[in-house]
């Protein structure tokens, strides 16, 4: 059976034992050559950092200056495998001055191991790296409490660090956290369970890494195929080669090419000397089309009814990676590299920088090396992209200095610029009315923050039932809360809209704008809408203040929805009496990484409501 691949990185404060841990995994995976083992043993005696024991860190610290200082400076990649799985690990530096190196190592990781020295506890740099892991949306996190040997394998010390991290992580967007006590130097809980921690009931690190499930982390919904090159060996063949960034594709499916928006159908999918019945995210293939349409490097093939966002003004979370600062007082032309496309661009505005130690926001017009900032970028041509949270491949960019050809920054796209929508205002004779009271004033009065709980899911999944239960709970607790329901708004506010894709998008746009007004008054608004398209939900998120939108996926098997069929709509849709019904003859784009996932076909409503309440408390909303 073909082994799966796990890409992971180690991070954490200086001297927390990152290199030692990875060296231990390499050594004990039994994949080192005899000459490598001999060199390691010789170097361990030479440097003498671990007495008579083998210094596993020397396997990772490849640079002479790293071995001399006993620290990691550059990102070091290593490959190893076990009978269960293949691994590519990035050992990233702990020093703040090497933040850019850590961002580089994390850009393709499926999992992050954050190390904490048990004898020192949670340090500022540990928190900083946890923030960066959250920012880069790495799906799985392991907090490895290392050097347990220095605290006599104390359960109390371990529990204290775990609780400290849990409390800190409530401010972040970390989805899946696992805690493991280890001693990388003495191999406790690294490849096998240690007898020195009988109180720990979980797995050792390596068995956990062999089993952690990452296939579902990929986006198999939104087909995105950036064209890298055109292959034309003779006049009878014209194919487009590239790597599928996300989604799946089959011969016969209709696609359109961006930016020309010319449509065609997939004729064949080639992989080396054979054709495929289906290709999916991560595969490098060559696609031929039934029609001769103009496509070149940098263009993107997508499905007609599932388009990415398109704009030349985007909001980006940026990590500045160049020694020379970016100063907006003298704007500089840069090149945005997005998938296989390069476009002239410039940073138009710095909204704020984030102090990664305190998470405070600071106003500035200058970005220095390793600064993390929210910026607005304007490009010479429209980009077609996704939100980074939805699609890491099409939601990320790098900025290149056109003079030196250096990579100066890496960015995660949040959305099209919020200011872009102001262009859609047709009347020039309107102004925002200032009512003196700010959102903060309302929130202070209410005793909680404003937010939008956006319930999305198939018809019959239980959205309205859950919305009513959340509404009742929050109202009983004295919160300022209101609810918007899909059917109710179509009796008035959206009564002029049908159920075409455009009408559905307009429906969600109106609800989003209405929700925004409620949030500005400090209210918690529960929105219950099928909202089948990710781009519509992302739009609502983009117009709300950061941290105020909770995409809540009501996850329910469609067969269960059909059995429930509370309005008899599935029966009509299957009989052909209703056209364009979501889940039957109209697509539903399930969230790939929702803020909250509620399995309504598995758990009772009371438990689902409690999950929402816990999330709101964790995020400081209530």
Sign of CA dihedral 348, 130, 111, 550: negative
Q: How far apart are CA 64 and CA 43, in angstroms?
A: 12
For residues 289 and 266, the answer to whether their CB atoms sit within 8 Å is: yes
Binding residues for GTP: 12-19, 91-95, 146-149
Q: Tokens at residue 379, please?
A: 């490009």
Residues in the chain: 622
Identify which of 23, 21, 22, 25 has the alpha carbon closest to the alpha carbon of residue 40.
Answer: 23
List residues bridging with 146 in a β-sheet. 117
For residues 326 and 376, the answer to whether their CB atoms sit within 8 Å is: no
Q: How far apart are CA 40 and CA 42, in angstroms?
A: 5
Q: Tokens at residue 195, please?
A: 């007898």
Binding residues for ATP: 457-464
Binding residues: 12-19, 91-95, 146-149, 457-464
For residues 181 and 150, the answer to whether their CB atoms sit within 8 Å is: no
Q: How far apart are CA 451 and CA 515, in angstroms?
A: 9
For residues 155 and 198, the answer to whether their CB atoms sit within 8 Å is: no
Helix, strand or coil, per DSSP, at residue 307 = coil
For residues 287 and 378, the answer to whether their CB atoms sit within 8 Å is: no
CB count in 10 Å sphere of residue 606? 9
Q: How far apart are CA 524 and CA 448, in angstroms?
A: 9
Helix, strand or coil, per DSSP, at residue 578 = coil
Question: In the chain, what are the helix, strand and coil shares in percent, each to the nearest 5?
Answer: 30, 30, 40
Show Cβ contacts of residue 21 under 8 Å, excluding neighbours closer than 6 positions.
10, 56, 113, 115, 144, 146, 182, 184, 190, 205
For residues 12 and 114, the answer to whether their CB atoms sit within 8 Å is: yes
Q: How far apart are CA 190 and CA 25, in angstroms?
A: 7
So which residues are the catalytic ones? 531
Q: Tokens at residue 352, please?
A: 């704020």
Pairing mode of beta strands 140-146, 111-117? parallel
User: Is 336 exposed, middle or buried (CB count within 10 Å of its CB: 0-12, 13-18, 19+)?
Assistant: buried
For residues 234 and 251, the answer to whether their CB atoms sit within 8 Å is: no
Q: How far apart are CA 591 and CA 586, in angstroms?
A: 16
Q: How far apart are CA 370 and CA 93, in angstroms?
A: 13
Q: How far apart are CA 506 and CA 520, in angstroms?
A: 21
Identify how many contiguous H helices and E strands the chain contains and give both numbers: 15, 30
For residues 132 and 102, the answer to whether their CB atoms sit within 8 Å is: yes
Q: How far apart are CA 317 and CA 392, in angstroms?
A: 13
């Amino acid at each position: 059976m073909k082994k799966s691949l796990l890409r992971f990185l180690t991070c954490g404060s200086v001297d927390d034992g990152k290199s030692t841990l990875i060296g231990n995994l390499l050594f004990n995976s039994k994949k080192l050559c005899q000459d490598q083992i001999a060199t390691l043993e010789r170097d361990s005696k030479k440097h003498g950092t671990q007495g008579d024991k083998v210094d596993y860190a020397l396997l990772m610290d490849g640079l002479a200056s790293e071995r001399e200082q006993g620290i990691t400076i550059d990102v070091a990649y290593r490959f190893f495998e076990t009978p269960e799985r293949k691994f590519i690990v990035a050992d990233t530096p702990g020093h703040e001055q090497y933040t850019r190196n850590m961002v580089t190592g994390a850009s393709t990781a499926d999992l992050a191991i954050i190390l904490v020295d048990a004898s020192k506890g949670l340090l500022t740099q540990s928190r900083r790296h946890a923030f960066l892991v959250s920012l880069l949306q790495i799906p799985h996190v392991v907090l490895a409490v290392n050097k347990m040997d220095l605290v006599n394998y104390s359960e109390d010390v371990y529990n204290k660090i775990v609780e400290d991290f849990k409390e800190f992580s409530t401010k972040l967007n970390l989805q899946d956290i696992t805690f493991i006590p280890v001693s990388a130097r003495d191999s406790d809980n690294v490849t096998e369970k240690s007898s020195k921690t009988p109180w720990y009931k979980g797995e050792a690190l390596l068995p956990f890494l062999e089993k952690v499930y990452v296939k579902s982390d990929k986006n198999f919904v939104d087909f995105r195929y950036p064209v890298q090159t055109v292959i034309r060996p003779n006049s009878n063949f014209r194919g487009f080669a590239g790597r599928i960034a996300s989604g799946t594709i089959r011969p016969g499916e209709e696609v359109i090419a961006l930016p020309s928006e010319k449509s065609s159908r997939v004729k064949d999918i080639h992989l080396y000397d054979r054709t495929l019945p289906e290709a999916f995210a991560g595969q490098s293939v060559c696609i031929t089309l039934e029609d001769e349409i103009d496509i070149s490097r940098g263009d993107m093939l997508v499905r007609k009814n599932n388009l990415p966002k398109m704009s030349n003004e985007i909001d980006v979370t940026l990590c500045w990676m160049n020694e020379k600062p970016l100063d907006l007082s003298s704007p500089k032309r840069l090149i945005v590299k997005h998938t296989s496309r390069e476009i002239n661009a410039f940073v138009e505005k710095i909204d704020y920088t984030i102090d990664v130690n305190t998470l405070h926001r600071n106003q500035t017009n200058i970005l220095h090396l390793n600064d993390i900032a929210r910026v607005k970028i304007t490009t010479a041509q429209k980009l077609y992209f996704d939100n980074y949270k939805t699609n890491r491949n099409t939601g990320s960019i790098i900025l290149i200095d056109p003079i030196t050809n250096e990579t100066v920054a890496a960015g995660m796209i949040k959305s099209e610029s919020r200011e872009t929508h102001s262009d859609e205002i047709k009347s020039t004779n309107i102004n925002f009315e200032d009512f003196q009271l700010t959102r903060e004033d309302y929130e202070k009065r209410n005793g909680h923050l404003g937010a939008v709980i956006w319930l999305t899911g198939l018809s019959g999944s239980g959205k309205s039932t859950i919305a009513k239960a959340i509404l009742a709970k929050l109202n009983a607790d004295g919160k300022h809360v209101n609810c918007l329901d899909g059917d109710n708004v179509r009796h008035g506010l959206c009564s002029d809209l049908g159920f075409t894709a455009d009408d559905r998008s307009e429906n969600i746009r109106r609800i989003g704008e209405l929700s925004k007004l409620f949030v500005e008054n400090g209210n918690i608004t529960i929105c219950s809408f099928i909202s089948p398209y990710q781009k519509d939900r992302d739009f609502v998120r983009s117009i709300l203040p950061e941290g105020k939108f909770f995409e809540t996926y009501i996850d329910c098997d469609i067969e269960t929805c059909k059995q429930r069929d509370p309005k008899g709509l599935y029966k009509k849709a299957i009989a052909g009496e209703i056209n364009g019904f979501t889940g039957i003859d109209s697509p539903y784009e399930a969230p790939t990484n929702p803020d909250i996932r509620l399995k309504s076909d598995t758990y009772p409503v009371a438990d689902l409501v409690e999950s929402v309440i816990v999330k709101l408390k964790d995020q400081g909303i209530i």
